Structure 1
């Protein structure tokens, strides 16, 4: 075992002879004041190596379950309950890992959204689509920074039933009926595919002339036909047919069409053309060229929507200029085709959309955040038809924008030491032009609790004025609070200031008083303690002269103790330097009345109370105190 012997000024090991119960020798080291700093560092490093190291923890990712949604609906991805175990700020990244691609809105926020995709229709039954999304949360730790979790989304198909269309009612001749008349279901519509057609005759036999016969051909096809023969052609006969349709998702619809068989000329069949969608100001042509039969006259008229002026309304094709509208508007037109057998009518819809204008950018409201926060720039308030978004930073410390070409962009607030303004510009563009809008984001520094420092331990004599110094405390400090925690009670002056004071109480033996300083701001508080050792007033008749001067840091402190007299020799000297370091006790040889220390170094600037205790052979003591100031070393030019 090695023991430090501080009774001399060397660091030489002394071997202790083993006892009978101690098999090994014990080595002792003599104390050398110059080795104090090295020994202190060794002890500090030893305590650091034994300090526990906190184990890093990953963030906890929590995502709400999502009920099945129908295609075209807005879906919310909600991970707002996600948290970091150690309370660190998190950054978020949403990504799609399965299913048809969708656009994720706010992919760097805990709550994101997307629109459920449209499911492609085929000739088979439409099945639900499964999407899957993953959220990654990052706390910035170098070892265990990220954690992720996935959430499934089941998108259900929406089926609009088919609309059966068997064509217009019409009149045909006996000759045409006997040769064959087409039944056309091509005008039927569906959001998927019609997979089944079925035609059947609805006219009861007892309503037909005797001997008459109806024969259907291809009754399960989109285009069927029928032949009608009768020995009695004296009177017209009306035949009713039903069209049944079924789509790929098993939805059905039915409709009927009436065909009148009569002698002579049949009325024409009007066809007003296909529906159209145009922009305000466009030239529109209404096309009735698809009308069939003998046609003596055409007549176009408007039946719904803002009134327009038709050109050539009595021709197969008419025209007009699409009116100015603020919102999508439908205009309906009717075509009447006629001959001597009668008229036929058909309608067509023309949808008018507003003319394109430049969008109006809106960069959102100004924000105030703290360094390290995740910030979302929100341009969803922009209006008009928008083909592209572009975010750019125009002022403040540079940051990296995520999704700068989306309605919402994001970034992490930079570290600042004072409130700092960042400015961003959003540009929205379409074929008609562009517009810009700016938004300011104020970034405030992170406020942390202050670190209290109650100053260095002190040794004083009863009756001395003592100053407790908390000026070494760091951080933003709103308040100080000094309080005594141990020792004889004293009255503190200025207990709510950085420095408090009191008068050392009268004691019979060295007594320790402990004081605690608490520093506080809005982020929290911290405390530190300091001990003040109070020695009794000098006793006996020992006297001496103590000389010591202020020094600069890194210069040696010189202490001269001279003309020790009184009491009985030899004298024993102990020096308390006021910074926690003690020299001695050192026993002088008989006849020696002077004691010098010329090589003590302070490690920090400050004010220190030096206490010198002189004890004689009969244990009488005298305590001498002196205050010195250690200043910064002067720089050499």
Structure 2
């Protein structure tokens, strides 16, 4: 008042006014800083610091330290639904949105692989098919096609969401678990299933659930299986993938480790390794993501050999089936010059079903309808010969 502060009063009275006066009111506005949430989760044997739900101011950066407990190895770190490899540190820079980060570990003594040979003495996880659903629908994740053929039996299941809008699983430690798909936003939800047998050996498999409204997800195509000689420059080919693709990501699943030139290219290269014995087989997974965040995967095999021809998987003819009927898949026409070592059937698309035996030549299942985006079930047969080489073939069953 009259150039002097009288404090943060709510009223002021001029009494017995005998001169001109001035009064000025200053308002100080306070604005809450915009913040975002990074959801950090970790699987069995993994360490991630910090973890949980971390609040970050807009434009700030946040780093995470990644490691594993004794007896475990980091197999991959998944950021916003996409693997960034087995890194030991990851930083989100200039944060302007919510993010997720998840760390997945396997035991050092584990030899199980989701795409491995059927006659394994360790657990082989199968997280079930990719699914496309509407927001608000109830989704079932099916791990019952996991096996421990020749082993002591599966002791436990563990489901972990590794990407996408967080959901609540009905029972993360059951072979099958359910959740309600989030509404109002398209995007991919990523889940890992780890199965552990009674000897403590484990295996991890992943699946994607795409939540859609008006668009359908892209289609990943990892290209044909290849058979090459040692030291050959091999080109992985995802160029036939379709849809509004914004990113590619290649990851080696198993086999002798190789260095992929650039895993974010549609057609990266690597040098085939020297084999120990007659042959070696490697599998690679391609993940393609579109501009809406929807994603799908596909795999391919690269066999390295100097002698035998690879096996030929034949999944039989495409079938039509009535809901409630028993359907028999047929791999009996598959061929392998050196002899068949094992079969592995995987459902890769459609409403989940449970096979009578995923490692049988011709397993059966009960067909059921109810897939909101079509009743086509797609199955992959992986055939392994006695040299360890592999091939794959797909077949479909349309449920009426």
Structure with larger Rg: 1
Q: Structure 1-normalised TM-score?
A: 0.23
Structure with the larger helix share: 1
Q: Structure 2-normalised TM-score?
A: 0.34
Higher relative contact order (CA 8 A, sep 6+): 2
